[in-house]
Structure 1
Amino acid sequence: MSQPETAGRDRKRPALRLVETKDLSRDDWLEVRRTGIGGSDAAAAVGLNPYMSPLELWLDKTSRAEGMPRPAPDDTTSPTYWGTLLEPIVAASYTKQTGNRVRRINAVLRHPTIPWMLANIDREIVGARDVSILECKTAGEFGARLWREGAPEYVHIQVQHQLAVTGKAAAHVAVLLCGQALEVFRVDRDDLLISRLIELEERFWHYVATDTPPPADGSESADRALRHLYPGRGGTVDFADDRRLSSVFADLVAVREQIETHQALEAKLKQTIQQAMGEATRAVFETGTVSFKRSRDSSAVDLQRLLADHPELEAQYAIQKSGSRRFLVSN
């Protein structure tokens, strides 16, 4: 791989404006994104995105992701929807808080020498001497925990990718936490990290260019991708003579046995504490605490009884649910 040494050499070369996006449709914009690795793809490409695996990203880049269950752009329950909606507000609040003016870059940018390395910049910072890029983020109650010590790793990688494409020296990440607190974090260019990032991204792009799926990484994202990629047409494959896969199967059986043993031990330890607590709802220990509370009462519809009394409703309100592949182990 010949690209990594360009990380420092290309710093003063401006990024190329690959496509103007001001009047570009969403579908056309997504098609352009499939021609390379963008900043929001970078962490997934190198296996460090907690929400997307390299395998699921590969499905998208090779146009195989159609039909996968993903939030629609107008789905108000999706964090992506709120992130897009609030981006201008985050940018305006950043300017009010820091005094730095910002402006849009209505283009997909491309690295001056690496054609598959792309970037969409939320805002360009105008007039500041030492920082040039603004990345806008939002985080809810759960996501805010990831920001306690600064920008999370996957965001840091995204920004380093953007700095690599643009040749800039530093960026600000402005994050709106729980809709009421704006935090601003500085990310300085790290040429050693960028060199390694380019190397790993090139490895991923090789999977795309050769139409070869990258290995699954054990994540829920990879599980979704595998089920989508291989829906299960039937048939039997014989791995009896494949020593590597036979070893993998043996390890799987051994790990499952260990999990069962530890689950049984966990249940016994938990019940020992529950029994000692009696009617108490909280217990304090030298190294931590536990709570053992009853949840609030709730009501639900007795579907079995309802359908017994009104069987005609079953056909009237029936919905079709797609089946999924089950992985069962026998030995």
Structure 2
Amino acid sequence: MPRETWLDVRRHGIGSSDAAAAVGLNPYQSQLELWMHKSGKAELLPAVDPSDETSPMYWGTLLEPIVAAHYTKRTGNRVRRVNAVLGHPRIPWMLANIDREVVGASDVQILECKTAGINGAKLWRDGMPEYVQLQVMHQLAVTGKQAADVAVLIGGQELQVHRIERDETMIAQLIALEEQFWGWVHRGEEPPADASENADTALRCLYPQDSGETVDLSEDITASHAFHQLVEIRQWMSDWEVQEALLKHQIQQRMGNASRASFSSGSISWKRSKDGQSFDATRFQQDHPHLAASYMQRKPGSRRFLVQTGGAGESSD
């Protein structure tokens, strides 16, 4: 089916690639961003170009047939595509796409193909990452199958094959947590934001413009507790920054003109960088105002988060 149709079908349920994000365990996507996709608010998010050659998703799709072919070469297991969105027989919102079906093997029925580049490879150092385990367990839950292999191409040259067996306890826990997430979608209720950059992006896309109004949260126990904790933590961070600067300056003073200092547990380098050049935009605007104006671009403003306490000034991020 066309990509837009496929995306629309997926919007009406939780797919296997959504599983880890739905339970808050995807390092690349927050619950809040996934909720936006499922709640019809995806257009508020930065657009994703499936043809972007710098995207891991692009290369994962391109290399999937190669990973599948080398899995067959490595294991002898034959595979075939499954060109359908699969659904759980009893849970209507539980969907799955599988990369390949393993044909004629008694011990494994599903193949999931992955690629890991420079940044993603570290997540595979200790075996299959948790977010991939959840994706595959979701597939086993939907299909009723007993086992799946995950073939991952690391750095374009190392193929690893990991086996994951059906775990009924894990499946029950996964379904319960996914059901909670789907409840948020059904009720139009935002899931709680986490500490990730992805959640920060989602919040800025959901609420890009302030209204000028003031909301009184003094009686909101949860929000008030978060505010007091935030103030305490920022003060703690400020105190530690002062201490960090003091220790740094003590060492710099002791080093003097030395380039390096060695210690029993490590070393410090303090070297002058090479001279560089910078463009003097202010002077250019003064000397060539009309020319500079023709190159100016409008930069959208963004909301600043300022924390103010009684008589203590403010801090922002």
Normalising by the residue count of structure 2, what TM-score does the alignment of the two structures yield?
Answer: 0.89
CA distance in 2, matches of 1:285, 1:108: 59
Structure 2 unaligned regions, length at least 5: 310-317
> Are positions 1:28 and 2:5 aligned together?
yes
Q: Deviations over 1:166-191 (max 9, x none)?
A: 11111111111111211111111111
How much has 1:307 moved relative to structure 2?
A: 3.4
How much has 1:217 moved relative to structure 2?
A: 1.5
Aligned to 1:18: none
Bigger mean CA offset, 67-76 vs 160-169: 67-76
CA distance in 2, matches of 1:282, 1:132: 58
Aligned to 2:33: 56
Aligned residues: 307
> Are positions 1:319 and 2:287 aligned together?
no
CA pair 59-285 structure 1, distance change in 2 beyond 3 A? farther
CA distance in 2, matches of 1:152, 1:239: 39
CA distance in 2, matches of 1:147, 1:65: 30
Aligned to 1:133: 110
Aligned to 2:84: 107
CA distance in 1, matches of 2:159, 2:248: 40
1:252-291 alignment, distance < 5 Å: 252-273=230-251, 279-281=258-260, 283=262, 285-286=264-265
Bigger mean CA offset, 72-81 vs 202-211: 72-81
- Alpha-carbon contact 1:71-1:78 (below 8 Å) kept: no
CA distance in 2, matches of 1:103, 1:293: 58
Q: Deviations over 1:29-54 (max 9, x none)?
A: 00000010011100000010111111
* Residue identity opposite 1:88 in structure 2: P
CA distance in 2, matches of 1:62, 1:131: 35
* Residue identity opposite 1:237 in structure 2: V
Aligned to 1:172: 149
CA pair 313-328 structure 1, distance change in 2 beyond 3 A? same
Aligned to 1:219: 196
How much has 1:60 moved relative to structure 2?
A: 0.5
> Are positions 1:246 and 2:254 aligned together?
no
CA pair 141-240 structure 1, distance change in 2 beyond 3 A? same
CA pair 220-169 structure 1, distance change in 2 beyond 3 A? same
CA distance in 2, matches of 1:126, 1:69: 39
* Residue identity opposite 2:237 in structure 1: I
Q: 2:169 aligns with which of 192, 195, 202?
A: 192
> Are positions 1:74 and 2:51 aligned together?
yes
Q: Deviations over 1:243-293 (max 9, x none)?
A: 44223211211111011112222333344455556634574644x666656
- Alpha-carbon contact 2:82-2:98 (below 8 Å) kept: yes
Aligned to 1:120: 97
How much has 1:107 moved relative to structure 2?
A: 0.2
How much has 1:203 moved relative to structure 2?
A: 0.4
CA distance in 1, matches of 2:249, 2:139: 51
CA distance in 2, matches of 1:325, 1:69: 17
- Alpha-carbon contact 2:284-2:292 (below 8 Å) kept: no
Aligned to 2:314: none
Report SS of the residue matched to 1:138: strand
Identity of aligned residues (%): 60
Q: 2:182 aligns with which of 172, 193, 205?
A: 205
CA distance in 2, matches of 1:151, 1:177: 12
Q: Deviations over 1:99-141 (max 9, x none)?
A: 2221110000001111111001011111222111111111111
- Alpha-carbon contact 1:174-1:183 (below 8 Å) kept: yes
CA distance in 1, matches of 2:151, 2:12: 28
Structure 1 unaligned regions, length at least 5: 1-23
How much has 1:314 moved relative to structure 2?
A: 2.6
CA distance in 2, matches of 1:91, 1:77: 22
Q: Deviations over 1:229-254 (max 9, x none)?
A: 12223211112333442232112111
CA distance in 2, matches of 1:133, 1:102: 9
Q: 1:145 aligns with which of 113, 116, 122?
A: 122
* Residue identity opposite 2:258 in structure 1: E
- Alpha-carbon contact 1:56-1:222 (below 8 Å) kept: yes
Aligned-residue CA RMSD (Å):
2.1
* Residue identity opposite 1:249 in structure 2: F
- Alpha-carbon contact 1:134-1:171 (below 8 Å) kept: yes
Say which structure, 1 or 2, has more relative contact order (CA 8 Å, 6+ apart). Answer: 1
